[in-house]
Amino acid sequence: MWLYIKKLILFIWLIVVGQCALASQQSTVKQFTDTSNQLTVDTVIDRKLSFDTANEGVKFVKGETLWVKVTSSSIASDELVVITSSIEGTLKLYQVADGKVTEYKFVSPEVAHLAPNAHILPSITLVDDARNYDIYIQVQAKYSGMLSLSVMSTEEYGKALNRRLFVIGVSSGIHYFITLFVFLMAASQSRKGLAALTAYFVCVSIQSGVSTGANNLVFPSEVASYFALYQSQIYLLSLIFAVLFLNYFMVVKRAEPAFARLVSVSIWILGLLIVLVAPLKAQHSLVFNFLGSLVCGAVYFLVLANQFKLHKSEVLAIVITWLPVFAFKAYVFVNQFGIYLPIDTSILNHVLITTHIILLASFLYWHDKNKKKQLLFYATHDKDTGAPNRYMLQQSLESLGKKNKDHTLLLFRPLVLQTIRLNMGWSYANAHLKKLLNKVSEQLNTYGNAVIAGHDSLHTSIYRLDDSLFAIILMGKFELSQVEQFVCVLSASFEEGVDFGGDLLVDQLEIGVASNPIHATNSDSLIQCAMQAMASKPAGTNKWQLFDFGNSIVSQRRIKIASALKVAIEREQLSLYLQPQLHLGTGRVYGSEALLRWHHPELGVVPPSEFIPIAESSGIVYELTEWVIETGLKQQAEIIKLLPSHTLSLNISGKDVGRKELTVQLIELVNQYALAPSQIVLEVTESATVENENILFDTLADYRSIGLRVAIDDFGTGYSSLAYLSQLGFDKLKIDKRFVMDVESSKTNQTICKATCDMAHSLGSVVVAEGIESEGSYRQLQSYHCDIGQGYFISRPLPFEQYKAWLQRMIDVEDVIHYLTS
C-alpha cells in the first residue's frame, strides 16, 4: 500500500519538474507598478510611462496593479504570449497597435462566460500584418508572487495546454475518487468522522480548483464562478470540517470533555468568520482566512499535544498528513516578503494538495487497519492486562489435545484484588495487576524454567478468564512435585503484598488443578474440573486443590437440584407435612409444625437439609418461603374447622429475615383466610438471629405488631445466650433435638433441658422440645415443666389429609400416653 502511494507522489513531483522547466522559457519583458491602482490601459499608452526591464523576473505585489509590456519585436507573427503561472486575481491582456487596443481579453475566476482554457493557461495571439504590436498585461492579485511568461507557437501552446490538462485531470481524478470512496465508507458505516472528512475533501478540491482553473473543467462555468466568488467562505468551511474530523477521530472516542468544548468553541468562531467575511472584498477576506487558520491550527496543536504521550504514532501520522498544506502555506507566506521560488504556483498547488489528500486517505486506511488489528487482539487478549483470554486458553488446550500432549491446567484467583478495587479504584487495580502478572510471568519463565524439574517449555503464558480468574498451562505428564513448585513460585509473587497507605495488603490465592488426560480430555471439561477443584478448596487454607471426582459428583447434583427446585415450585411438586405438637401437661393437641418435603422423579427424596442451603445460595429461597407460607396458611384455614385452637408453626429462612415483602404477604393471607394471627408462629433459627442482628429487631417488631408469634428454633446450636435472645422478645423457644433424644440417659442433656425450661419460663416464654422419641423422654420433659413437645413418639410428620385424620382421632383422647403406647 505505502509503496504505491510513494510511487504516485513521486510521479506527480516529476510532472512538477517538467512543468517548471517549461515555465522558465520567458521572453524579455518590461514592467511598471501602479501603486494608485487607478491607471487604465489608455492612460498607460497616452502617458508613455517608463517601464523597467524585468531582468530577474516579473514580480507583483498584493494590493498593487502590475503592468507588463511585451513588444512585437521579440515576438514572431502568429505566436502567443502565454502566462504559465497561476495568479489568484484578475488578468487583462491587451494587444495595442499604433496606440490603439486591437484585441482585449479579461481573465478572472469569477467570470463565467470564458472558455476553460482561458482559466488554465491564459494567452493572447499576435496577428500577422505590417503594423507593430505591443502586448500590455494588467495584473491585480490577491497574493504577492512572480509572473511567468512564455512566447510559444500554436503547436507548443497546444502541447503545454495538454500537459497542464493532464496534471489537472490526474489531480482532480485523485481528489474526487478518494472523496467518493470515503463518502461511501461514511454512508455504509454511519461514521461521522468520515462524513466530516468527505466534506473537507470536497471543500479543499473546490478551493484548489479555483486557483488552478480545474473547476472550469469539472463544473459548469456558472458554478465555477460561484465557487470563485465565495472562495473565502469555502476555505473557512473546510477548516470547520478539518476540526470536526479531528474531533471524531481523537476527541469524542477518547472522552475528552475539555477538548470537546474547545472544538465546539472553535467551530462557532469559524462559523462567525464565515458570516463576517461574506460582504468583504478579496483583499480584506485574507485577514479572516488567516484568523481561521490560526484557530484551526491552535485546536490541532492542543489536541495532538495532549494525545502525544498515549498515542504517539497516531499523532505523528496526522502531523505528516498536514505537512503538504503547511508547505504550500509557507510558500505563499514567503512570497509576501519578496522571496520567490522558481516553481509554478499552479503545479505546486496540484501536487501538495493532492499529496495532502492522498496522505489523509492513507492515514484513514492505516488507522482502520490498526483498529481492526486492535479489535482482533482484544478478541483474544484481555484489554486491561494484555494477557491471553479464555478463548486463547481454549485454543491452546484444544491444540495440545489434538497433538495428544499431556498437560495440566492450573487456575488461580487472587483474593485481595477485590479489596484493591474497592479502596483504590479499578484503574489502580488494573495497573497493579498488569505489573504483577508481568513479574510473575518473568519469574515463571526464568527461575521457574531453571528450577522446576521436568518443565521444558520456553515460555509460560498467564491467561485471564475473567476479572479475577487466571490460568497457567503446565506441559508434560502430571507430577505433584512439579505442580507444587509452580504453586510456590506463583504464591511467592503474590504474597509480597500491595502497599496501601503504608499498610501492606498481603495477597493469597485460591488454586485449583486438573490434568489432561487424567481428569478430562477436552478443553471445556478440563477448565470445569479445575474450577470445581478451586471451589472445593477448604476455606482459610493456602493449599492448592487437585480435582476430585467425588466433589464433581456433588457439584453436579447441586446444579441439578437448583434447576429442578425452581421447576418444582412453579409446578406445585412440593408438599407440606405436618408434625403434631402436644401440650405435655394435658396431653391435648396444641398444633403442628409445617415441614417441607420434596420427592423428585429422578433425584428421589431430597431432604430439606440438602435443598434449602442450595435454594439460599441460588436465590430461590424467597420463592420457596412464599410457597410454604401460602400453602401452610391455606391448610391452617381448613384445620381450625376441626380444632379452632390449633397453632401452626412455619419455618423462616435466615435469608428471609428483614424482607418487607414477607410481612406484607402474611398480612394479606391472614386477612384472606380470616385467621387469628396469634395462632401463627414463625420459627427463626438461632444462627439467623446472630447473623442478622442489625435488622432482626425491626423485623420481629413488625411481626408482633400484626399479632404473630415468634419462636427461636434449634436453641443451643448457635453462639447466642438466653439473655441476648430475651432482648428480641421471642414468644417460644425450641430445644434442639440433639439435647432431647437421649435426655433419659445423659446427665448433661438433662441439666441443659431443665435449665433452659427454668430460664425461659422466668422470661415468660413457652418451651417446645423437639425430637421426643420415647415415653421416657416424654415423661422426663414433663417433669421439667416443658410446655410443648413433638417427635416420633407422638407422631411422624404426616401429609395434610393424614394429619387431619390423626387430628380427628386425637381430639377426644383423654389418656394420651396410653393411646400412644398401645
In this prediction, residue 46 has a pLDDT band, given cuts at 50, 70 and 90, of confident
**Burial grade of 732 (CB within 10 A; 0-12, 13-18, 19 or more):** buried
What region does 571 belong to: left with phi over 0, alpha with psi -120 to 50, or beta?
alpha
Query: According to the per-residue pLDDT averaged within each range, which of 8-22, 600-614, 718-732 is highest?
Result: 600-614
154-189 and 192-212 helices cross at what angle (nearest 10)? 170
Query: Cα(191)–Cα(754) distance, rounded to whole angstroms?
Result: 82
The pLDDT of residue 98: 76
Q: State the sign of the Cα–Cα–Cα–Cα dihedral 154, 155, 159, 160.
A: negative
The pLDDT of residue 676: 94
Kindly state the DSSP code that residue 389 receives in the 8-state scheme: B
Question: What is the rounded average pLDDT of the residues 753-761?
Answer: 91
Q: What is the pLDDT of residues 493-536, one digit of tens each?
A: 777 655 555 555 556 788 888 888 888 888 888 888 888 888 77
Task: Render 449-469 in DSSP notation, one character per residue.
Answer: HHHSTT---S---EEE-SSS-
User: Under CATH, which number does the domain 569-821 receive?
Assistant: 3.20.20.450
Least confident of 39-48, 119-128, 362-371: 119-128
Residue 337 has pLDDT above 70, yes or no: no
SS3 call for 610: helix
Mean pLDDT, rounded, of the chain: 81
The pLDDT of residue 649: 94
What are phi and psi for residue 348, nearest 5 degrees? Answer: -60, -40
- Torsion from C-alpha of 810, 816, 819, 820, nearest 10 degrees: 100
Residues facing residue 68 across a β-bridge? 31, 137
Q: Among all chains, which residue has been given the C-alpha cell 486443590?
A: 545
The pLDDT of residue 777: 92
Query: Cα(714)–Cα(739) distance, rounded to whole angstroms?
Result: 10
Cell of 804: 387431619
Residue 425 has pLDDT above 80, yes or no: no
Domain boundaries, the chain: 27-162, 166-377, 390-547, 569-821
Q: Taking a C-beta distance cutoff of 8 angstroms, is the pair 614, 649 a contact?
A: no
Query: Cα(38)–Cα(36) distance, rounded to whole angstroms?
Result: 5
Number of CB atoms found within 10 A of residue 71's CB = 15
Burial 314-331, CB ≥16 within 10 A → b, else e: bbebbeebbebbeebeeb
In this prediction, residue 719 has a pLDDT band, given cuts at 50, 70 and 90, of very low
- Nearest in space to 318 (alpha carbons), one of 327, 305, 336, 332: 305
312-335 and 282-307 helices cross at what angle (nearest 10)? 160
- Torsion from C-alpha of 372, 376, 379, 380, nearest 10 degrees: -160
Q: State the sign of the Cα–Cα–Cα–Cα dihedral 797, 799, 800, 802.
A: negative
Residues facing residue 596 across a β-bridge? 576
Edge-to-edge strand list for the sheet holding 133-141: 52-53, 30-34, 65-71, 133-141, 89-97, 100-107
Residue 25 has pLDDT above 50, yes or no: no
| Better-predicted residue by pLDDT, 57 or 177 | 177
Kindly state the DSSP code that residue 40 receives in the 8-state scheme: -
Question: What is the rounded average pLDDT of the residues 349-372?
Answer: 89
Q: Among all chains, which residue has been given the C-alpha cell 442482628?
A: 693
In this prediction, residue 801 has a pLDDT band, given cuts at 50, 70 and 90, of very high
The pLDDT of residue 229: 81
Query: Cα(142)–Cα(284) distance, rounded to whole angstroms?
Result: 10
3-state helix, strand, coil in the chain (%, to 5): 55, 20, 25
Query: Cα(27)–Cα(137) distance, rounded to whole angstroms?
Result: 14
The pLDDT of residue 459: 66
Q: What is the pLDDT of residues 565-599, one digit of tens each?
A: 888 888 888 999 999 999 998 889 999 999 999 98
| Better-predicted residue by pLDDT, 453 or 421 | 421
Task: Give, for 535, the enclosing helix (H) or strand (E).
Answer: helix 523-535
Least confident of 433-437, 445-449, 637-641: 445-449
Query: According to the per-residue pLDDT averaged within each range, which of 84-88, 291-295, 577-581, 602-606 is highest?
Result: 577-581
Query: What percent of the chain has pLDDT above 90?
Result: 20
Q: What is the pLDDT of residues 297-322, one digit of tens each?
A: 999 999 888 888 888 888 899 999 99
Pairing of the two strands 58-60 and 145-147: antiparallel
Strand residues in 376-482 grouped as ranges (E): 407-414, 462-464, 470-475
Strand residues in 678-792 grouped as ranges (E): 680-685, 709-715, 732-735, 766-770, 788-790
Least confident of 129-133, 240-244, 361-365, 610-614: 129-133
Residue 176 has pLDDT above 60, yes or no: yes
For 27-162, give the CATH class: mainly beta
Task: Render 346-368 in DSSP notation, one character per residue.
Answer: HHHHHHHHHHHHHHHHHHHHHHH
End-to-end distance of the chain based on CA atoms, in angstroms? Answer: 101
- Nearest in space to 203 (alpha carbons), one of 225, 229, 232: 232
In this prediction, residue 93 has a pLDDT band, given cuts at 50, 70 and 90, of confident
Cell of 551: 466433589
Domain 390-547: give its CATH superfamily: Reverse transcriptase/Diguanylate cyclase domain (3.30.70.270)
The pLDDT of residue 577: 96
Residues facing residue 145 across a β-bridge? 60
Q: Taking a C-beta distance cutoff of 8 angstroms, is the pair 476, 407 a contact?
A: yes
Query: What percent of the chain has pLDDT above 70?
Result: 83
What are phi and psi for residue 468, nearest 5 degrees? Answer: -130, 10
